[in-house]
Amino acid sequence: ATDTNSRDVDAVVVGAGLSGLYLLHRLRRQGLTVRVFEAGDGVGGTWYWNRYPGARVDVKSMDYSYSFDPDLEQDWVWTEKYPPQEELLRYLEHVADRFDLYRDIRLETRVTEASWDDSTDRWHVRTDRGDQVTAQFLVMATGCLSAAKVPEVPGLETFRGRWYHTGHWPREGVDFSGRRVGVVGTGSSGVQAIPLIAEQATELTVFQRTPNFVLPARNHPIDPEHQRSVKARYGEVREAARQSAFGIAVPAPQKSALEASPEERESRFEQIWYDEDNNLVDMLTSYTDMITSREANDTAAQYVRDRIAEIVDDPEVAAMLQPTDHPFGTKRPCLGTNYYETFNLPHVRLVDVRRDPIVEITPTGLRTAAEDFEFDALVFATGFDAMTGALTAVDIRGRDGVLLREKWAAGPRTYLGLQVAGFPNLFTITGPGSPSVLSNMMTSIEQHVEWVGDAIGDLRACGLTTIEATVEAEDAWTRHVDEVGHTTLYPTANSWYMGDNVPGKPRVFMPYIGGVGPYRQRCTDVAACGYEGFVRSAARQPAAA
């Protein structure tokens, strides 16, 4: 049957963010026909959706950028240490133009369903616009923090003001001038947005469930001389990032925090806190045992708590802002600009919803157990169904019609975070079981995309058609991810790394904390050993009549 909507391609890529754009470029260059589906009406993924005030990357721009094309890397000029969302989006749009990517991207189209057809060895993909496409390969480039979550509090539909989620911010922006605003959530997005919303709003109330550790971003324009010098040795900088723990080229720690004297530690932390050139990961990489020893970790945690007490005038508010329930870094640390200072402003108020829980949203605002609040606008900086949410939102059916969502009911299982047993020729970029959210996303994304491209290229070169992780390899990797996770303090915190922010989500440490460098080596070795842990097969011969 012919259907004008139907198309057969070599690969379908879901998502046109950082991963999808590079995948398209890379696979097309390998000679594949590719169709990308993107739900937004533009490319850019995270940097398309997250337009809230203050949205910025918190990995340095010169590290958080593609390295795959030396000309792009040299040509693009970054303006700031941590550029704002608009600049990152402009960069990604430039990449899409520069590599002529738009012609294979279908915008405003959401993939709803993908099923593996065993008889043809192809994926059947459907979209919310009625597209039906078949593809030999399906790559989910849907992001780790893309399925936005509004809290399950009753009454939102009755609210007469306007409400927003930071991850779905209106294109035209929002003016909070003259408005009374409530913000729920104090993760990275809340921490970035709160000081700027406070500049406009007449009254701002922040509802905090867990105080986070917020380090000063020390953002500033990039000195052109510095930019030139990084570009002159970019190859070296990138390679160091690829071999590092977190995908950022910082010196590896040399000793335990407990071996250092209190004075030595203090001066190290002080240097990190005040250094204009500091990085998000500097505290975690200051000593060898920051993420494995509670006692070591607490030296950094206490340093930050002391700074909070210094900055915040009201001791009661300072105490509310001081994290004591989780070790430093076991929930993603935040970078802020004037974050703690904002709570000194007379029109800004902090409410601890652990002590005084949110009961419902009302037509005029929000009600906690103890108090009624009136707002003209509500902002949910409440995060995402991380790592698995965007994957399980699609009906992905592997062999025998098994739904990925059901296979993962007790937690995600992958081999290397790249493949799932029973789902041949399906790849996930920065999937659960990969370093993804514990790394510089760019470093991880490029590694994944290149590995997937090579795996497909090698398969084809060998005259084979399918590649699929074995159950044994998947079991072993899933166990390994869990074991390494449990050598650290991460599982002791309630975090989205553990699925804790989504009621009913299984409590599993989802990312791989073995380090970007070692992970990369493992992936390379697996490929070099003939794709160890994968079964690769040729097309079945048509059955004899």
Question: By the criterion CB under 6 A, which residues form the site for ligand NA7?
Answer: 145, 151, 166, 184-190, 207, 209-210, 332, 353, 358, 381-383, 496, 501
48: tokens are 């398309």
- Nearer to ligand NA7 by C-beta: 147 or 260? 147
317: tokens are 């508010």
Q: How far is the C-alpha of 543 from the C-alpha of 545, rounded, in Å?
A: 6
| CB of residue 57 to ligand NA7, shortest distance in Å | 9
Neighbouring CB atoms inside 10 A of 254's CB total 10
- Nearer to ligand NA7 by C-beta: 414 or 495? 495
174: tokens are 């929002």
545: tokens are 């009549």
| CB of residue 9 to ligand NA7, shortest distance in Å | 32
- Nearer to ligand NA7 by C-beta: 137 or 169? 169
Name the one residue in this structure whose structure tokens are 């001389």: 225
| CB of residue 69 to ligand NA7, shortest distance in Å | 25
- Nearer to ligand NA7 by C-beta: 122 or 305? 305
| CB of residue 324 to ligand NA7, shortest distance in Å | 13
| CB of residue 438 to ligand NA7, shortest distance in Å | 10
- Nearer to ligand NA7 by C-beta: 151 or 506? 151
422: tokens are 């029973």
- Nearer to ligand NA7 by C-beta: 186 or 285? 186
| CB of residue 401 to ligand NA7, shortest distance in Å | 33
| CB of residue 458 to ligand NA7, shortest distance in Å | 33
| CB of residue 477 to ligand NA7, shortest distance in Å | 23
- Nearer to ligand NA7 by C-beta: 70 or 154? 154
Element (H, E) at 37: strand 34-37
Q: How far is the C-alpha of 184 from the C-alpha of 182, rounded, in Å?
A: 7
- CB distance 195 to 340 below 8 Å: no
- Nearer to ligand NA7 by C-beta: 27 or 206? 206
| CB of residue 331 to ligand NA7, shortest distance in Å | 6
Q: Calculate Rg over the CA atoms of the chain.
A: 24
DSSP strand pairing (111-117 vs 122-127): antiparallel
- CB distance 371 to 253 below 8 Å: no
- Nearer to ligand NA7 by C-beta: 187 or 433? 187
Q: Which of 385, 395, 399, 392 is nearest to 413 (CA)?
A: 392
Helix axes 516-528, 234-243, angle to 10 degrees: 90
- Nearer to ligand NA7 by C-beta: 132 or 158? 158
Q: Which of 69, 20, 37, 27 is nearest to 455 (CA)?
A: 27
479: tokens are 């166990």
- Nearer to ligand NA7 by C-beta: 136 or 188? 188
- CB distance 52 to 23 below 8 Å: no
Q: How far is the C-alpha of 332 from the C-alpha of 461, rounded, in Å?
A: 42
Q: Which of 364, 400, 317 is nearest to 155 (CA)?
A: 364
| CB of residue 293 to ligand NA7, shortest distance in Å | 23
| CB of residue 439 to ligand NA7, shortest distance in Å | 11
Q: Which of 283, 313, 286, 293 is nearest to 213 (CA)?
A: 283
| CB of residue 81 to ligand NA7, shortest distance in Å | 16
Q: How far is the C-alpha of 202 from the C-alpha of 200, rounded, in Å?
A: 7
- CB distance 252 to 285 below 8 Å: yes
- Nearer to ligand NA7 by C-beta: 206 or 420? 206
- CB distance 14 to 431 below 8 Å: no
DSSP strand pairing (203-208 vs 180-184): parallel
Per-residue CA distances from 376 to 139, 198, 350, 372 (Å): 42, 14, 17, 14
Q: Partners of 138 in the beta sheet?
A: 12, 426
- Nearer to ligand NA7 by C-beta: 362 or 466? 362
| CB of residue 392 to ligand NA7, shortest distance in Å | 17
Per-residue CA distances from 219 to 58, 192, 429 (Å): 9, 12, 29
Chain residue at closest Cβ approach to ligand NA7? 187
Contacts of residue 508, defined as CB under 8 A and 6 or more positions apart, other chains included, come to 410, 411, 412, 482, 498, 499
